[in-house]
Amino acid sequence: MSRDSRQHATIERTTNARTGAGGAVVAARAAEPPVETAEIRALADAAGYEVRGEVTQVRAEDPGTYFGAGKVDELADRVAETEASLVAVDGELTPRQTTELRAALPEGTEVFDRYRLVLAIFADQATTRRAQLQVELARLRYDLPRLKERSDVGGLNKRVEKGTPIDGVKNRIADLERKLADLPSPAEQHRAERREQGFDLVTFAGYTNAGKSTLLHRLADDLELDGPDESPGKTDPERGTAANHPDAATETATVADRLFETLETTTRRATVDGRPVLCTDTVGFVADLPHWLVESFSETLSDAAAADAVVLVADASDPPAELREKVQVALDVFDAQGVDESAVVTALNKVDLLDDDAVAERRDAVDGLAPNPVPISVREGRNLDRLLAAVAERLPTERAELTLPNCDEAMRLVSRAYDRAAVESVEYEGETVDIVVRGRPSVVERLRADAEAASP
């Protein structure tokens, strides 16, 4: 299947899975041209709407209706003409803006901003109990500040804080957080087992399109390690956000898709410093989505706290200021998840797109935030050894010299050692075998105990 048809198939699956939600008019505003609509169109489409028109405006935001009055009239006409049931606004609306826009449109027209639309997409795709709870939680986190603003504006319910809708929402949020924490996560259980078996855990995290999945493919044991690795079905936008990409329509629908799908975490086995580690891919942070929203869906991020090392993959082809901002947000999210600072390794990926000066600029940009960032190119395989060395430094390590009688049990122990740890040397000295191993302390301890048990 060609890349295009594969992307097309993704969109079709996305759309067919939904009951037709009706028609939508998309509306976008920017202080300066150009006003892009590809992404909001793609999001509306992914939410099951047929996009029947668009209205754009270049001007400063109107505090009342977001768009200027004339533009709101035009929007109302377009909705009437196309019999659309939704206006999808590419931005974040205040409750007041939502209410006033709604009032200016034909009766019954729904108004969604970008975040509300993303929530609708998630809600549509939530089939498991866990996903449904996550969607409800995200929805309430979205509603809460809006409810607060509304009650502040109206001065309503101020005196009777207990028992207000705000109170109810807060309680429900706490309730959902508890329920979610109690639900067993299959992926988590799986990893707990692997951990028990002595695997080291490494998590890859960062903004979408940084190259996390490509890096994981490249490092995974079950894939060939040479040659450029193109992840399927993806294009290579010049910059991080899908909106800037000519293919933004297709790209964004798959972003919405993948945001959700990555909840089913991808874990692969790789070899670091001669020992097996489990590498976990995580959902990418999406630029322009608030991170509480991404966080709501990313149980994989809470795994980061349990990992021995967290590789923060950043796209170094972003302009320096944007790179710094993204690294900062990612580190804040890690911190909120309880990730130990010393466990983080920052990788500045895609340096193949930059000259030496530009790389130095990127390094300076993250200076003070991320100590010793490793500039890498997954595509060209540049500096991956340095990255792995930095990861290896963070893995808890013990070294042992074991001696046991040269018998069948020694052979079995050697093969177990190769499976689970780095074997530095094996020497057969007539009656005995000397093995030097390095690995996770629990693994080395077990090998030591086995060696002792095999010795008379």
Ligand X SMILES: Nc1nc2c(ncn2[C@@H]2O[C@H](COP(=O)(O)OP(=O)(O)OP(=O)(O)O)[C@@H](O)[C@H]2O)c(=O)[nH]1
List, as residue ranges, the binding site. 206-213, 262, 281-284, 349-352, 377-379
- Contact flag: residue 267 with ligand X (CB under 6 A): no
Residue nearest to Mg ion (CB): 213
Where in 277-296 is the site for ligand X (CB under 6 A)? Answer: 284
Figure out which of the listed residues 213, 252, 265, 317 binds Mg ion, where binding follows CB under 5 A.
213
- Contact flag: residue 352 with ligand X (CB under 6 A): yes
- Contact flag: residue 264 with ligand X (CB under 6 A): no
- Contact flag: residue 350 with ligand X (CB under 6 A): yes
- Contact flag: residue 85 with ligand X (CB under 6 A): no
- Contact flag: residue 247 with ligand X (CB under 6 A): no
What residue 218 binds from Mg ion, ligand X, none (CB within 5 to 8 A, per partner kind)? none
Min CB(357)–ligand X separation in Å: 18
Among 35-43, 64-72, 85-93, 211-219, which window interacts with ligand X (CB under 6 A)?
211-219
Nearer residue to ligand X within complex by CB, 93 or 378: 378
Nearer residue to ligand X within complex by CB, 47 or 378: 378
Among 13-21, 64-72, 372-380, 396-404, which window interacts with ligand X (CB under 6 A)?
372-380
**Is there a contact between 399 and 444 (Cβ–Cβ < 8 Å)?**
yes
Among 123-131, 172-180, 213-221, 325-333, which window interacts with Mg ion (CB under 5 A)?
213-221
Residue nearest to ligand X (CB): 284
Min CB(383)–ligand X separation in Å: 10
- Contact flag: residue 280 with Mg ion (CB under 5 A): no
- Contact flag: residue 52 with ligand X (CB under 6 A): no
- Contact flag: residue 300 with Mg ion (CB under 5 A): no
Residues that bind ligand X (CB under 6 A): 208-214, 230-231, 234-236, 258, 284, 313, 349-350, 352-353, 377-379
Residues that bind Mg ion (CB under 5 A): 212-213
